[in-house]
Structure 1
Amino acid sequence: MLILDRYLFRSFLKSFIFCLIVFIFLFIIVDIFGSLQEILNNHPSILKILELYLYAVPVIIGQTAPIAALLATLFTLGQMNQANEIIAMRSSGLSIWHIVRPFVLFGFILSLSIFVMNETITPYAQKMSKFIKRYYVDKAYGSTQDVPLENVAIYGYDNRLYFLNKFYPKTNTIEGLTILEHDAQQNVRSKVYAEKAVWRNNRWVLYQCFIYYLGEGQRIRGEPLYFSDKVYRIEETPEDFMRQNIPVENMNTKDLANYIARLPESGAQNTIIRMKVDLFQKTSSPFTSFIIILLGIPSAIIVRRRAVAFSSIGICMGISFLFYVLFAVLTALGKAGVLPPLLAAWGSHIIFGGTALYLIAHTQ
């Protein structure tokens, strides 16, 4: 039995690696042609171009692994079925679950590996890929300049909402800072605007600062206070602004969970719901490969002739497309607050995974 499992596993692994390499190669070729104008104009070194696409590999693997796994499943089982190997296995008394066990096990290991990769390697790889493209390929800024983060919005401590027009990480300077402080009912009780804010001696110093206090009906009470420079108590450090400004797709589950834990104080319920959906998707998305393999198994096993093979591939691709459509629909419903975040992220996996298991169990 172990010999048979190794044979099936090895055949599937060869097909999967081949498909994955093809997808990585095609992605890089397409991206190079898309960036060809910038490459010709800015003349980045070959080493930097190689480094750029080396950092892009984890992202490509995460995106293309499900389709590569589907094609490997259809090809491997289809070839075995047309060679009557599956009939021989069934005739020897093996159940359908014994035959497909290596594929199911591989799908689970693959999904688990992608999850670990997304938690550890991918966030750093995405950051470095964007950095190399910005500085060496597009050359949007000189390497010695302090590149600003623009239009930053952050929910912070003490029920505050921060808007930063420009934040310069190198000098810890903010241009155009607006702070909205809310009460327990989420009414704005004060507004602070500063033309400039600088982090000095572990505190924020605001320049050309105006402070407005609001009363009932969000009306300004009295005259605004003006300060040419003022030390203002802000819990967030420059590192906090940098960390919280990271796009959700560049966060791992720990970073995103920690960020969500801070949001209830600001009462941003809609934002909390959307981010909870994103958080649960970070656990469900890697297991798409596992579900796709389950969907491909019954289609591949029923193949008898080549014409039927192409038909089964088309049907399986169509079912996989429906899976992604349902995944997108449930995500939208979850972020709109119609569905619980956990169900929105895992609903399509549960529905199609259960359907695939039923079809496998009833495959003759």
Structure 2
Amino acid sequence: MKILDRYIGFEFLKAFLLALVGLTIVFLALQVLDTQKIDSNEPKELLRWHYVYSLPQIAVFVTPPAMMFSVCFVVAQFAMARELVAIYSAGTSFYRAVIAIYVVASLVSVGTIVFQDQIVTPSNRQAQKYLAQYKKNSKATDVVWQRNLRGKEGYYFIYFFDREKNRIIGGFHYMQVDENDRPVRMIQSLSAHYNEDGTWTLKVVKDVHLDKNLNVIKTDIKESLVMDFPEQLEFFSNPKVNPGELSLSELQEEIEFREQYGFSTVQYRVHFHRSLSFPFMVLIVAVVGSVAGSMGSLRSGGPLIRSLLLSTATIFFYQLTFEIGENLGMAGILPPAVAGWGPTAIFAGIGLWLIWKRGR
């Protein structure tokens, strides 16, 4: 059986890598066409780096369709070449024959979880950074205005951040907390200016110190105050509010913070559940593809034709269900868990139905 496993596994792996590269190129080309519409005087090199850092996200996104296509195609080829008949004649069941495919799919599924959290998240931040630099002279769509941010040692409120002058105007508030998330200091200022040495100069400042019982023990009113916050300038100029730029642990922290202060958590919850459910799609479509590829009439060439048609339909249906689920979740029509896990549950249902139909 080791020879059979190596043979099927190797054939599948070749098809999967080819499909993954092909679909990644297609979706990258679509992104290139979309970003070329941006009118900017900045160097094109910024846009090229944006494409480079976008590759991990695109590769993860097309992994389930690539898995579906490759599994369905390889199994259909075995059926067309009568290799499955020979395997059955040797007393090997269908699911035992394709176990190598399921093992590889499981490894890819687990790898997707780690890759998505450790590679895709930071690369998304870099991709958005280069895109923002390229759009510098175009119409701003990511203005930092009236933002509540959670830092390493406390919480910030920013009324408006002026990127050109690296200053905050209209109001800048900071609440420092202890290890128990209890306020120990509150600073209110009219404005704040970033200095070259990494410090901030606050203007028209009210500095309030609190004890462990939240009683005011000291209040200072100052014309200016120099503060050295633990966060870098980029934390304020480009806060990580896009869920796609947050890891699973950061998403949980953001959700807890927003719940604590009464802010909406819908988009973060939807993305959190979607990120958790997404890797399971890899294994599910492997099962769906293997069963679908083995079904049909051998004389008519049905398995190959059916697998290609089903794979193409799956790619569009896969993207459509994820987009609909996310939009309905963001709009509050569906609970975040349903919006995030719904598409995966649909494909799981399709897989169970195909397994039942094949066993009849």
2:172 and 2:191 in contact (8 A); partners too: no
Q: Whole-Å Cα distance in 2 between the matches of residues 335 and 36 of structure 1?
A: 28
The 1:64/1:261 distance shift into structure 2, 3 A limit, reads same
Q: 2:260 aligns with which of 257, 260, 265?
A: 265
Name the counterpart of 1:129. Answer: 127
What does 1:1-364 correspond to in 2, within 5 Å?
A: 1-32=1-32, 44=44, 51-135=49-133, 138=134, 140=136, 150-151=144-145, 153-154=147-148, 162-168=157-163, 171=166, 173-177=167-171, 196-198=191-193, 206-207=202-203, 229=223, 241=236, 244-268=239-263, 271-303=264-296, 304=298, 305-306=300-301, 309-319=304-314, 321-336=316-331, 339-363=334-358
> How much does 1:252 deviate?
0.8
Question: Which residues of structure 1 form unaligned runs of 5+?
Answer: 142-147, 182-191, 211-226
The 1:203/1:29 distance shift into structure 2, 3 A limit, reads closer
2:69 and 2:311 in contact (8 A); partners too: no
The 1:124/1:245 distance shift into structure 2, 3 A limit, reads closer
Q: Deviations over 1:265-317 (max 9, x none)?
A: 2122xx22432222121111233222222222222111433356334433454
Q: Deviations over 1:79-98 (max 9, x none)?
A: 11111111221222222221
Corresponding residue SS for 1:350: helix
With 344-353 and 294-303 compared, the bigger mean Cα shift is at 344-353
Aligned residues: 325
Q: Whole-Å Cα distance in 2 between the matches of residues 209 and 300 of structure 1?
A: 69
Percent identical pairs in the alignment equals 21
Q: Whole-Å Cα distance in 2 between the matches of residues 352 and 337 of structure 1?
A: 23
> How much does 1:179 deviate?
6.3
> How much does 1:151 deviate?
2.7
> How much does 1:164 deviate?
3.0
Q: Whole-Å Cα distance in 2 between the matches of residues 272 and 101 of structure 1?
A: 41
> How much does 1:248 deviate?
0.9
Name the counterpart of 1:224. Answer: none
Q: Whole-Å Cα distance in 1 between the matches of residues 309 and 253 of structure 2?
A: 43
Q: Whole-Å Cα distance in 1 between the matches of residues 327 and 123 of structure 2?
A: 28
Q: Whole-Å Cα distance in 1 between the matches of residues 25 and 102 of structure 2?
A: 27
* RMSD of aligned Cα (Å): 4.2
Name the counterpart of 1:217. Answer: none
With 341-350 and 297-306 compared, the bigger mean Cα shift is at 341-350
Q: Deviations over 1:133-172 (max 9, x none)?
A: 554xx3737xxxxxx9633522559x9883432254995x
**TM-score normalized with structure 2 length:** 0.72
Q: Whole-Å Cα distance in 2 between the matches of residues 195 and 359 of structure 1?
A: 64
Name the counterpart of 1:186. Answer: none
> How much does 1:104 deviate?
1.9
Q: Name the aligned partner's letter for residue 119 of structure 1.
A: D
Q: Whole-Å Cα distance in 2 between the matches of residues 152 and 90 of structure 1?
A: 66
Q: Whole-Å Cα distance in 1 between the matches of residues 314 and 124 of structure 2?
A: 31
Q: Whole-Å Cα distance in 1 between the matches of residues 327 and 47 of structure 2?
A: 36
Q: Name the aligned partner's letter for residue 207 of structure 1.
A: K
1:292 and 1:320 in contact (8 A); partners too: no
Q: Whole-Å Cα distance in 2 between the matches of residues 156 and 40 of structure 1?
A: 32
The 1:251/1:43 distance shift into structure 2, 3 A limit, reads closer
**TM-score normalized with structure 1 length:** 0.71
Q: Whole-Å Cα distance in 1 between the matches of residues 352 and 32 of structure 2?
A: 41
The 1:64/1:162 distance shift into structure 2, 3 A limit, reads same
